Structure 1
């Protein structure tokens, strides 16, 4: 099988839970609006703007890429993240990303009361809190009184692992099941079908996958050059066998590379 045929075969396996497909789908504002109406349980919610792969940086120059950043009609900003692997401290990652987002959207000198609200929607294939629920809301609680302390940051966690009869669970089925489409979520279903089943959609996904492959190869070559220059031959050998170690070195030796 040729390399192009392999890429095409892999493209057919993509679903909205995958970064590549989700980010492409998030170019459509109505798709973002549809899923946020379900997840945030607000049928009147309006998304004015959606930006896939939104990039923000801190003062040290370290960047993050949000899978999608949306602006609601009330000015609130929403960071939507999709995550398949439970391989990191996602709570701290969310904290970091929300801080970067807030810093980048707040004008210098703005009064704190004018800083836009931020909501992080975290969609995962695993039950992050292991409570056997498909949907969680995380609030800041005053320990002594049990009251919510609202500082403008909201966290909503959705997972595809726990299934029930809720709307959000039905939506998550479309996110992970190759053959799942649902008329209740027409935008999500139609865009998913376009990129999985139509010739034009598959070509787009293949082009993205080929570009990502090239970028990753260049990133690895850059790391290898650093290891060779510093005569870290054992580390170089280990990176060929241990992907996690390779990623660790990427963060250590290429600190200004954009991270997800």
Structure 2
């Protein structure tokens, strides 16, 4: 390497390190204000499976519910149409399936979207050669900042019914809306909704969720992990901007 190139490299590295340091300080300030209702933070909280398990236990009112496996932020394919990235897809020990979505805006939790997510669970669960009767019982759960359905209730359970006889239609597919606006501290569900919107671990009721929030916000390893993920998002944005600029320049 020539002297001029080496000098340029020695100059560039400190500048890049300085810029990265500035970004990391900004990320730390952003991290301090995040809650589990924030997409990037929710994804990292749920990487600890016991957090997902606790949330489902409360929403399903089933304390013995155990998570067998979960997949976060997976792109569920529809070969004939639109695919969708689902926040969290869970299988419990009884082989029931759950799609847990946390939504800040009403548009992200529309009833038609819930229907579509339910269909994606089915088409991505049943394998070739399996009988339709082997479809798993499934739940699409939207936890929403606002009362999307508008009836003023903390939780809504939706299932199909046979209109003429007023009996349940037993296809075992269900949709649940949880209204995070109601934080009734006298109920376990209300306390969970409170915790999902807390910035500080010490204000949370659940030790399971509080422990994970402390890990991500208050330990060097957790903070570094979150900052690195935010920097990846930053860099992806820069790359997309450059690609769009190049595309527009060719048009």
Judge same fold: TM > 0.5, yes or no.
yes
More helix by share: 2
Pair 1:144–1:221, CA change in 2 (3 A): farther
Q: Which residue of 2 aligns with 1:169?
A: 190
Of 201, 211, 226, the residue aligned with 2:232 is: 211
**Does residue 73 of the first structure (1) align with residue 88 of the second (2)?**
no
Q: Name the TM-score, length of structure 1 as normaliser.
A: 0.81
Rounded Cα–Cα distance in structure 1 between residues aligned with 2:239 and 2:83 = 18
- CA–CA separation in structure 1 for the residues paired with 2:242 and 2:108: 25
Partner of 1:201 in structure 2? 222
Match among 12, 16, 32 for residue 12 of structure 1: 32
Give the Å deviation of 1:229.
4.1
Q: CA RMSD in A?
A: 2.1
User: How many pairs align?
Assistant: 230
TM-score (norm: length of structure 2): 0.83
Structure 2, unaligned stretches of length 5 or more? Answer: 1-20
Once residues 101 and 215 of structure 1 are traced to their aligned partners in structure 2, the CA distance between those partners, rounded to angstroms, is 29
Q: CA deviation at 1:98?
A: 2.0
Say whether 1:90 aligns with 2:110: yes
Q: Quote the offset at 1:63 in angstroms.
A: 3.1
In the alignment, which residue of structure 2 is the partner of 1:185? 206
- Unaligned 5+ segments in structure 1 are 231-260
Mark the CA change 1:201 to 1:229 in structure 2 (over 3 Å): closer, same or farther.
same
Residues 1-260 of structure 1 mapped to structure 2, 5 A cutoff: 2-60=22-80, 62-88=82-108, 90-164=110-184, 165-179=186-200, 181=202, 185-230=206-251
Cα deviation, residue 152, structure 1: 1.9
Cα deviation, 1:120-170, whole Å, max 9, x if unaligned, reads: 111111111112222111111223333221212111111221232221110
Are the structure 2 counterparts of residues 136 and 12 from structure 1 closer, same or farther at C-alpha, using a change threshold of 3 Å? same
Go from structure 1 to structure 2 and tell me whether the alpha carbon gap of 1:29 and 1:95 turns closer, same or farther (over 3 Å shift): same
Q: Distance in 1 between matches of 2:167 and 2:97?
A: 24
Secondary structure in structure 1 of the residue aligned to 2:216: helix
Q: Which of the pair has the greater relative contact order for Cα pairs under 8 Å at 6+ separation?
A: 1
